[in-house]
Structure 1
Amino acid sequence: MQARRIGRELAVLGMSQFSDKPQKLEQQDLEGLISSAVRTLTVEAKDALETAADELKRGSNRIMDSETRAPDVTSARTMVEDAIALTQNAINRLGSALELPEFVQITNQQEVRAFSLEILSHTVRYLKEVDEILEEAMVAWQLKRLARIDRDILRTAVVEMQYLGTPDRVAINEAVELAKRYSGEEGYRFINGVLRRVVERSKISAKEAPPPVVSPQADSTF
């Protein structure tokens, strides 16, 4: 499960570098996209550490100000609360940054890269069909108007459900978790809604599909 989760995240990050020109899409170096995604994660860890250090410094300054510059108790309490909030943010960022080295190490596992490549290759091959599925499931919105990361998370989920055999519930839950990490509250709610409509429409289409035609020879007995 962890390998597939990390492979999925790498695929989404790599997908963000897809060419917008259809004629160049099949010429993409998919292995190169994955390596670039790993570099993106490394930079993200560095940025998180720098931001955490800045928040800790600001929190420390707020505590000092509460002791020396606050005109009254209420102001001092507010400054301390601000300092606590900044410190908590810094701790959260440090926690995420400390997880990334292990994450990056796991990205080198063959299983992880194989799953990433599978998602990317199927996305390239079936991009037109995937985008049509998403367009039909979106209400009063257009795929091209979405933030790139939201669009790529949606594409990844549809590829998994339609072509890779991932259970609908698993694909949706994983997409929502990715959106929480890279998009935001409105983003993950929107993605959850779109993917649930994709599943509903798929079930309706399956019910409405005509039964397969059976050749008379297939029913004959000897």
Structure 2
Amino acid sequence: MSILQPRRIAREIALLSLSQVQGKMETLEQEELGNLLLEAIRTLSSVIRSDLETASAEVQRANERLLSSETRSSTITSARTMLQEALELTQSSINRLGYAVELPEFMQLVDQAQVREYALTLIGTVKRRNKEIEENIENVLSDWHFSRIAKLDQDILKIAVAEILYLDIPHKVAINEAVEIAKRYSDPEGYRFINGVLRKVTNALK
């Protein structure tokens, strides 16, 4: 992440604290940056904990499958798949833990007033325009429902669409920023999915 781009950090803070500020619209303007950072880290911690629990369960299932079955090729293949998924989740959790450690450091290297202002602008816009934003995304999803998308991916999409529709951010910039954030916080295929959805949104607007 470039340490010279307060808005990029603001997007990450907004993304990670968005789910934590429900019911606070009336006091949003008074929200301190330190509180937003704390809420962002809490979100990351929750995601990390969930991923590690899932990974642990996958390892346990793989172990039980090997112990309770005969040594067949299909059983070994199935167990190997479970273990691979567990390893990928664990690696993702390690990466996210690294991001959680980075955020406070990055905050010291940028204009914090700019970070706070833009993060609050993003959160406020998404909260106020949530219905319209979701409708714009839902309209371009083929054989898929917005509610089925992973929560972090939903919020990445919402922030990008909010920037495009209401904050006069050029389409290309909003999409590129969303893709970069998705590479940090989504699963390996998440950023491609987000890129595709946002390009459909911008094409529909044209």
TM-score, normalised to structure 2, is: 0.64
> Which residue of the other structure, out of 159, 169, 172, is the alignment partner of 1:169?
172
> Which residue of the other structure, out of 144, 147, 152, is the alignment partner of 1:144?
147
- Following TM superposition, by how much is the alpha carbon of 1:11 offset from its aligned partner in structure 2, in angstroms? 0.7
- Following TM superposition, by how much is the alpha carbon of 1:27 offset from its aligned partner in structure 2, in angstroms? 4.4
Q: Bigger shift: 28-37 or 107-116?
A: 28-37
**Aligned residue for 1:39?**
38
Give the AA of the match of 2:129: Y
**Aligned residue for 1:122?**
125
Asked whether the 8 Å contact 1:157–1:175 carries over to 2, the reply is: yes
Q: Higher Cα Rg: structure 1 or 2?
A: 1
5 Å-filtered alignment, 1:3-22, equals 3-19=6-22
| Coordinate RMSD, CA, aligned | 3.0
1:180 aligns with 2:179: no
1:202 aligns with 2:205: yes
CA distance 1:13–1:96, shift in 2 (3 Å):
closer
For 1:95 and 1:154, the matched residues in 2 are separated by 23
- Following TM superposition, by how much is the alpha carbon of 1:187 offset from its aligned partner in structure 2, in angstroms? 0.9
> Residue by residue, what CA displacement relative to the aligned partner does 1:30-60 show, whole Å, maximum 9, x if unpaired?
6548544412566769x9xxxxxxxxxxxxx
Give the total of aligned pairs.
155
TM-score, normalised to structure 1, is: 0.60
Unaligned runs of 5+ residues in structure 2 are: 49-90
**Aligned residue for 2:68?**
none
Residue 16 of structure 1 aligns to a residue whose secondary structure is: helix
For 1:167 and 1:181, the matched residues in 2 are separated by 22
Aligned-pair identity (%): 43
